[in-house]
């Protein structure tokens, strides 16, 4: 679309120049013919690009929301279903709780894959999916949410009825399954959650059912209902919050930088990632301490620490784009943009040298502060990358409403490249979509040369991952910049 706008404006400029040029009466017919022909070409290209973006979006949407083996919704799919159910209930003034969620875990699936091979494993999964769909009349109620775990959105049933249903499900899984290698018995356990009104996140609702499933499996039982005690994390959370607060003050946090390369393997950017080495616990992963920090009011401080360090270190690498993760919590604060402005001035950096990574949920958030923050940040010159693309939401409609500069394909789509043909189809669908929308596309989590080769063949030019370079200290990136080949010398430096 941006290209169409750009060509349209040059045609208009040309026309305007011709009108004012001396001897314009001779050149005008030729220019007019050029303008008409140009406009027709543009119109055709525009239609084609709209059509392409619609078909790619529909295809990507299906692939992103369904499990290719069973054709059931995957985790994304069921999360969207629950989101939609909640939105509808809220708009109708009805009870927005998720009802019961049942997770069925297959006992011997891995054994079958290991001993009887892929075809048998896939045949078992397909048969189990058919059986589950036979139990529930509504489409899309059952989803495959893990290797050997299915989740079923049951609605409101009493505990007694759920116990009966769980027993039936286990019996259904105990019936022999025919495979190319003969008949096998899979076995199962069931975990049930009834998320209460405080649970407004579908991921959390499913996590509770999975915790119940683990409890059933650990007890070598077949059914368990979620109990808050299964969640051991509350005490740990409090302790971590206290320690993190201290870490922010005493300098125990630091940033590392992971290389991003272009199609020639040249280093073109780095992603800033936060690290915390706790004196008592050792290395605490950011996936643990950032959400805990944000839930306890430390989100802004953590975010500004990351930006400040990235601004300071970026001076070492002129020409590299430095990407910094920005969380929804930061964007929701009216203090964020003014604080970023102050940091830009303090470090005397150019915002156009930086990319802010946001997740899909941010774009779907109707919060006006979030949209205003994003507009302001773009206005300052920052570019915006959509992180973990494909993991969050099923609707891709937001992509045509909000301008982003880059899509980062989540590593869960990269990991199967070369192993499953559908993995390549997903990458192709996303790169087509990105091309139709005129945005850059980068693949995350590239761990081997085979993946990189497929990605490049499918038109994904930018890459990040352990194969390209592990997260490294600022000095490690200095060394990589100094090395004759920009990538590949970073592995030891993290
Ligand atoms: P992310 O933004 O998706 O960052 C990429 C994560 O994938 C990093 O984990 C990186 O070390 C890891 N990774 C990179 N290449 C590979 C690979 O080839 N294979 C595998 N398996 N993993 C790879 P890390 O550093 O643990 O960060 C995890 C998440 O924590 C980040 O995911 C991001 O969501 C969050 N995070 C990290 N630093 C910050 C920060 O400064 N601010 C905010 N808001 N979030 C951060
Ligand atoms: Ca990121
Ligand atoms: Ca990511």
3-state DSSP of 337-349: HHHHHHHHHHHCC
CB 299 less than 6 A from any atom of ligand 1: no
CB 447 less than 6 A from any atom of ligand 1: yes
Atom of ligand 1 nearest to the CA of 446: 18
Q: Over 80: is that where the pLDDT of 354 sits?
A: yes
CATH number at residue 183: 3.30.70.270
Task: Specify the residue with its C-alpha closest to ligand 1, atom 42.
Answer: 325
Same structural domain, 83 and 198: yes
CA distance 401 to 1: 12
Mean predicted lDDT score pLDDT of the chain: 84
Both structure tokens of 106: 């297959």
Same structural domain, 48 and 98: no
- Whole-number pLDDT of residue 221: 72
Same structural domain, 448 and 378: yes
- Whole-number pLDDT of residue 328: 86
Residues 327-354, mean pLDDT to the nearest whole number: 94
Q: Which of 65, 98, 119 is the last residue of a domain?
A: 65
Same structural domain, 36 and 110: no
Same structural domain, 96 and 7: no
Same structural domain, 79 and 58: no
Most confident option among 91-95, 109-113, 286-290, 342-346 = 342-346
Q: Over 60: is that where the pLDDT of 27 sits?
A: no
Atom of ligand 1 nearest to the CA of 306: 41
Same structural domain, 308 and 208: no
- Partnered with residue 284 across adjacent β-strands are 276
Q: Give me the domain span that covers residue 91.
A: 75-226
Contact by Cβ (8 Å): 119, 180: yes
Same structural domain, 34 and 139: no
Count of domains observed in the chain: 3
- Whole-number pLDDT of residue 12: 29
Which ligand is nearest the CA of 390, by number? 3
Most confident option among 19-23, 92-96, 254-258 = 254-258
CA of 467 to the centre of ligand 2 (A): 17
CA of 216 to the centre of ligand 1 (A): 32
Match 């997903």 to its residue by tokens.
426
Same structural domain, 457 and 475: yes
Residues 404-415, mean pLDDT to the nearest whole number: 93
Task: Specify the residue with its C-alpha closest to ligand 1, atom 23.
Answer: 445
Q: pLDDT band at residue 217, thresholds of 50, 70 and 90?
A: confident
CB 274 less than 6 A from any atom of ligand 1: yes
Is the residue at 236 inside a domain? no
Residues 137-173 have pLDDT tens digits of 665 589 999 999 999 998 888 888 999 999 999 999 9
Residues 327-341, mean pLDDT to the nearest whole number: 92
Q: Which residue has the higher pLDDT, 52 or 417?
A: 417
Same structural domain, 452 and 427: yes
Q: Over 90: is that where the pLDDT of 457 sits?
A: yes
CA distance 303 to 286: 12
Q: Over 80: is that where the pLDDT of 229 sits?
A: no
Q: Over 80: is that where the pLDDT of 19 sits?
A: no
Residues 176-198, mean pLDDT to the nearest whole number: 90
Is the residue at 371 inside a domain? yes
Residues above pLDDT 90, as percent of the chain: 50
Is the residue at 154 inside a domain? yes
Q: pLDDT band at residue 2, thresholds of 50, 70 and 90?
A: very low
Cβ atoms < 10 Å from Cβ of 51: 11
Residues 442-463, mean pLDDT to the nearest whole number: 97
Contact by Cβ (8 Å): 447, 11: no
Q: Which residue has the higher pLDDT, 274 or 174?
A: 274
Residues 190-196, mean pLDDT to the nearest whole number: 91
Residues 42-55, mean pLDDT to the nearest whole number: 62
- Whole-number pLDDT of residue 182: 86
CATH number at residue 483: 3.20.20.450
CB 294 less than 6 A from any atom of ligand 1: no
Q: Over 70: is that where the pLDDT of 475 sits?
A: yes
Residues above pLDDT 70, as percent of the chain: 83
Is the residue at 40 inside a domain? yes
Q: Which residues surround ligand 3, an ion (CB under 5 A)?
A: 387-388, 444
Both structure tokens of 230: 């299964």
If you count them, how many residues does the chain have? 494
CA distance 176 to 437: 49
- Whole-number pLDDT of residue 237: 76
Atom of ligand 1 nearest to the CA of 471: 11
- Whole-number pLDDT of residue 403: 84
Cβ atoms < 10 Å from Cβ of 320: 20
- Whole-number pLDDT of residue 204: 87
Is the residue at 385 inside a domain? yes
CB 398 less than 6 A from any atom of ligand 1: no
Is the residue at 185 inside a domain? yes
Cβ atoms < 10 Å from Cβ of 375: 13
Q: Which of 39, 65, 91 is the last residue of a domain?
A: 65
- Whole-number pLDDT of residue 22: 40
DSSP code of residue 139: T
In terms of C-beta density within 10 A (0-12 exposed, 13-18 middle, 19 or more buried), how is residue 382 classed? buried
CA of 410 to the centre of ligand 3 (A): 6
Catalytic residue (choose from 127, 444, 470, 475)? 444
Q: Over 70: is that where the pLDDT of 49 sits?
A: no
- Whole-number pLDDT of residue 485: 59
Is the residue at 157 inside a domain? yes
Is the residue at 234 inside a domain? no
Same structural domain, 98 and 161: yes
Q: Over 80: is that where the pLDDT of 275 sits?
A: yes
Q: pLDDT band at residue 344, thresholds of 50, 70 and 90?
A: very high
Q: pLDDT band at residue 37, thresholds of 50, 70 and 90?
A: very low
* Of 471, 494, 469, 466, nearest in space to 483 by CA: 469
Q: Which of 24, 46, 65 is the last residue of a domain?
A: 65
Same structural domain, 31 and 155: no
- Whole-number pLDDT of residue 230: 74
Q: Which residue has the higher pLDDT, 336 or 200?
A: 336
Q: Over 50: is that where the pLDDT of 13 sits?
A: no
Residues 413-429, mean pLDDT to the nearest whole number: 90
- Whole-number pLDDT of residue 365: 66
Q: 127 catalytic, yes or no?
A: no
């Amino acid at each position: 679309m941006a290209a169409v706008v750009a060509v349209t404006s040059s045609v208009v400029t040309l026309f305007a120049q011709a009108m004012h040029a001396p001897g314009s009466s001779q050149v005008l017919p030729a220019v007019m013919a050029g303008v008409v022909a140009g406009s027709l070409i543009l119109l055709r290209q525009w239609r084609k690009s709209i059509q392409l973006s619609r078909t790619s979006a529909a295809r990507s949407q299906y692939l992103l929301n369904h499990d290719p083996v069973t054709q059931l919704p995957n985790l994304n799919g069921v999360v969207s279903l629950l989101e939609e159910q909640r939105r509808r209930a809220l708009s109708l003034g009805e009870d927005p709780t998720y009802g019961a969620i049942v997770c069925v875990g297959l006992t011997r699936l891995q054994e079958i894959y290991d001993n009887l091979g892929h075809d048998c494993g896939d045949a078992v999964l397909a048969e189990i999916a058919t059986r589950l769909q036979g139990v529930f009349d509504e489409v899309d109620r059952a989803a495959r949410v893990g290797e050997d775990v299915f989740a079923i959105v049951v609605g409101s049933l009493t505990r007694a009825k759920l116990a009966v249903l769980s027993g039936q499900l286990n019996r259904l899984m105990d019936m022999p399954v025919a495979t190319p290698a003969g008949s096998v018995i899979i076995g199962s356990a069931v975990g049930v959650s009834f998320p209460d009104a405080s649970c407004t996140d579908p991921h959390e609702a499913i996590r509770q059912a999975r915790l119940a499933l683990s409890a059933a499996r650990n007890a070598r039982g077949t059914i368990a209902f979620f109990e808050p005690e299964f969640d051991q994390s509350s005490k740990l959370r409090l302790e971590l919050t206290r320690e993190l607060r201290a870490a922010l003050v005493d300098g125990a946090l630091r940033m590392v930088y992971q290389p991003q390369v272009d199609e020639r393997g040249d280093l073109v950017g780095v992603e800033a990632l936060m690290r915390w080495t706790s004196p008592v616990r050792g290395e605490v992963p950011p996936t643990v301490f950032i959400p805990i920090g944000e839930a306890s009011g430390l989100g802004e401080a953590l975010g500004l620490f990351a930006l400040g360090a990235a601004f300071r270190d970026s001076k070492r690498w002129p020409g590299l784009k430095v990407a910094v993760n920005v969380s929804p919590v930061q964007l929701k604060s009216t203090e964020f943009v003014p604080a970023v402005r102050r940091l830009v001035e303090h470090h005397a950096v150019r915002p156009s040298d930086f990319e802010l990574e946001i997740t899909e949920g941010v774009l779907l958030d109707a919060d006006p502060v979030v949209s205003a923050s994003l507009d302001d940040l773009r206005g300052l010159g920052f570019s915006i990358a959509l992180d973990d693309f494909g993991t969050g939401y099923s609707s891709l409609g937001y992509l045509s409403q909000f301008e982003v500069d880059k899509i980062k394909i989540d590593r869960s789509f990269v990991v199967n490249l070369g192993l499953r043909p559908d993995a390549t189809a997903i990458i192709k669908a996303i790169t087509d979509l990105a091309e139709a929308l005129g945005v850059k596309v980068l693949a995350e989590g590239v761990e081997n040369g085979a993946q990189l080769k497929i990605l490049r063949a499918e038109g994904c030019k930018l890459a990040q991952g352990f194969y390209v370079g592990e997260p490294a200290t600022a000095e490690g990136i200095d060394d990589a910049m100094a090395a004759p080949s920009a990538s590949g010398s970073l592995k030891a430096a993290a």
